[in-house]
Amino acid sequence: MRTHTLFQYIFGIPVYPSKVLLALYISPISSAKEIGERSGISRGKVYQTIQFLENAGLVNRSERGIVKLNVDIVEARLIEGINELNRIADNLVILKQRAIKEEKEILQSKIKNLEKLEEKFAVEEAEGT
């Protein structure tokens, strides 16, 4: 999974904002030009995206155009998101274990039935000779 995709999931944001957020996470105080260079997004799109992130409370922009990541907010959301992903992973492990157990029980039952059939045929064969 690409890191910006993780940001998309955790923050519930589109691709461009997640790439800009990641660029700012790497360097929390940056110009739009620097963000564009790090994220691979055109400067015009960077400005639109910064406005989006500013409206979401994730960044602040100075009068000189310097963008500052709200690190505490972003890191708190990242931790919260990672904890949620860990809970999901734990639940998936439990579900997988249950499914394996159920499948094992089904297979054991089928084996028992086959063994009974095998015994029945062996008895029938012995009686028939």
Q: Which amino acid is at 89?
A: A
Please tell me the number of Cα atoms within 13 Å of 93 on its side-chain side: 6
Average pLDDT (40-65) is 94
Give the global pTM: 0.71
Residue 63 to residue 25: CA distance in whole angstroms: 21
End-to-end CA distance of the chain, in Å? Answer: 66
pLDDT band at 127 (very low <50, low <70, confident <90, very high): confident
Q: Is the pLDDT of residue 3 over 70?
A: no
Q: Is the pLDDT of residue 4 over 80?
A: no
Q: Is the pLDDT of residue 106 over 60?
A: yes
Who has greater pLDDT, 91 or 7? 91
Residue 41 to residue 24: CA distance in whole angstroms: 13
Mean pLDDT score across all residues of the chain? 93
Q: Please answer whether residues 53 and 21 qualify as being in contact, where contact means their C-beta atoms are separated by less than 8 angstroms.
A: yes
Query: Nearest to residue 22, comparing CAs of 63, 53, 56?
Result: 53
Give the tens place of pLDDT for each residue, 73-100: 999 999 999 999 999 999 999 999 999 9
Q: Is the pLDDT of residue 1 over 90?
A: no
Fold annotation for 3-69? Arc Repressor Mutant, subunit A (1.10.10)
